[in-house]
Amino acid sequence: MIVGYARVSTEDQNLELQTDALQKAGCEVIKSDKASGAREDRPGLESALRLLNSGDTLIVWKLDRLGRSVKHLIEVATALRNQGVHFKSVKDNIDTSTVTGRFFFNVMASFAEMEKELIQERTKAGLAAAKDRGRIGGRPKRMTPSKLEAAERLLIDGIPIKDVARSLEISVPTLYRYFPISTMSNSGHRSKK
């Protein structure tokens, strides 16, 4: 049996490119996941691996679709080999049923890991450079200084926290983040000290 496995990282990404390539490669069954490669729980991959028996082949579109890291890729490939299952990668032109294919698998897995680490390094460097220029990533703060001042005045005046949150167009948990419950009286208002 020839089993294909496809994976995209997010729900809004499309699996069609991979599944079309896997069908052309002769896959009889194709399992898939929409999850980060870093996640350990990938039901599609687990299902694909359960289908395989000695003499079968697992095919992926590209190496990085299968493993979380070089170590994980090699663990999966070794487990498949011990089970008598072959592994192929369409884009990387790898076929572990041959000695050369096994060699290239290890080389390509190392390149995939190196590429991932380089991307992480570039991302960190970019974030550090942006921070040095005064730009900080992430979502903008919901509580501006004027909102904080207004919230404090309303809470001191005894307005219920739900009403304060609604009038400032923020959530109650956001309000509690700035005005912890320990600063509120039993009635849910900010304690006057």
Whether the Cβ atoms of residue 61 and residue 17 lie closer than 8 Å to each other: yes
Sign of CA dihedral 18, 4, 32, 110: negative
Catalytic center residues? 9
Neighbouring-strand partners of residue 30: 4
The one-letter code for the residue type at 130 is A
**Cα(102)–Cα(87) distance, rounded to whole angstroms?**
9
3-state SS, one letter per residue, for 40-91: CCCHHHHHHHHHCCCCCEEEECCHHHCCCCHHHHHHHHHHHHHCCCEEEECC
